[in-house]
Amino acid sequence: MNSHGVVLNGEMKKEFYADFLKLYVFLVLQNVITTSVALADNIMLGTYSEVSLSGVTIINQIQFVFQQLILALSDGVVIFGSRYWGSGKTEPIAEISSVALKTALGIAALLFTAVSFFPMQVTGLFTTNAGIISEGADYLKIIRFTYFFFAVTQILLATLRSEEIVSIALKLSVMALLVNCMINYVLIFGHFGAPEMGVTGAAIGTLIARMLETLVLILYIVNHNSHLKISLHVLLTGGKEFAGAYFIKVFPLLINAGLWGMNIAFQTGILGHMGSTAIAANSAASTLFLMVKSMAVGAAAAASVMIGKEIGKGDRGDVKAVAGNLQKIFVVIGLVSGVLLFFLRIPVLGIYRLSPETIRMADHFLIILSVVDVGMSYQMPTNSGIVKGGGNTSFVAKVDLISIWVIVIPLSLFMAFVVKASPEAVVCCLNADQIFKCIPAFLEVHYGNWVRVLVKEDK
């Protein structure tokens, strides 16, 4: 950065791009592998029984909302932790993580209790089909135990990510994929003399994978504690003095995460009422879109760490310069991922054994989503990476809530049930926010007050 604080100099730019690329590659690969775990489950259960797949899909709607809440708590850890990391202090990071960990375990306990006492009722919220409800309830009996392990793992990984340690997350994801797939293959179908357990076997595979993730991660932290300074004792007992500041910033994220989870279920319901062809086409298109979307998700996660670290160093000029460089990267990522999605759609759809009408509709969906992906790859990392990483969590929550519940959902309902528009037109409406949210994202970063004081080390 020069003396006027306008741009990073050549040497600093090289270091910046190297640091970002290291974080980005690991986070994208981790997200791709995590998505592959869900894809593998769906393929295996889809081969086993359509009713079983439907039952698990319903339970996954519940888990999606839960996971969004835990990821919101994790984002809070990164927002605070990366600043302490940038200021050269690691001890407070464990204190912040302690608050997040206790909250995450509390949410896991509440959900565990609810689904334990009312498994059939919870499953029945999404369907009236007795067979699907039964399969979903069987899956839920086992999968409910994963909530605790998922909560612990995600908070600890966020703690490490705030210190730019991301390779362990990728390794854990690879391990989870391999373990889950192997156990599923054996227990779902009853191979190698094992009992044929269907959805119960799939749940056991996921539970064992989650348990191993948590165990390996804790062992990693214990063995590297002299460097990380993440005391398990502090994680379990500390955090009181940081709780107030943490919850002030995280509360908007929690509200937004819960409503976002509901929004995804709502959007699925809108397309679901437009016929079986639209459902199947959306399922096929969404799988590929989620894989490519990992490029934007990884950019947002890496940007949040980079911004928090720069703020922690104390030079606001460098923060603005880094934000400018990041936005240029986001535009490039958007163009690359949009083109990639457009050209991958034909060979990937060729794998599916679907009717010509369904393939045609899925192809149209993916053409729309390839355009959507360009805007999403800019606005998501800008809002969820730069602005959220800067501490202005309320702005991100307001933009999402207004966009989704005031514009997208009402417009989509109107187009689907009043205008009786085509599924393609409804998909355009459902994803329109990914384009127009680019405008408030750009304005906030360039003209807004998004760098907020969170900790006393901030200047």
9 pLDDT tier (thresholds 50, 70, 90): low
Residue 238 phi, psi dihedral angles, 5° rounding: -95, -170
Q: Is the pLDDT of residue 357 over 60?
A: yes
What is the C-alpha to C-alpha distance for residues 359 and 112, in angstroms, rounded to an integer? 39
Listed ranges 103-107, 192-196, 403-407; the one with the highest mean pLDDT:
103-107
> Which whole number is the average pLDDT over 114-128?
80
> What is the model's pLDDT at position 39?
67
For residue 178, the tally of other CB atoms under 10 A from its CB is 13
> What is the model's pLDDT at position 315?
67
What is the C-alpha to C-alpha distance for residues 290 and 231, in angstroms, rounded to an integer? 36
What average pLDDT does the structure give for the chain? 85
Looking at residue 160, its amino acid is: L
Based on DSSP, count helices (H) and strands (E) in the chain, helices before strands: 20, 0
What is the C-alpha to C-alpha distance for residues 376 and 431, in angstroms, rounded to an integer? 9
pLDDT tens digits, 380-400: 999 999 998 888 888 988 998
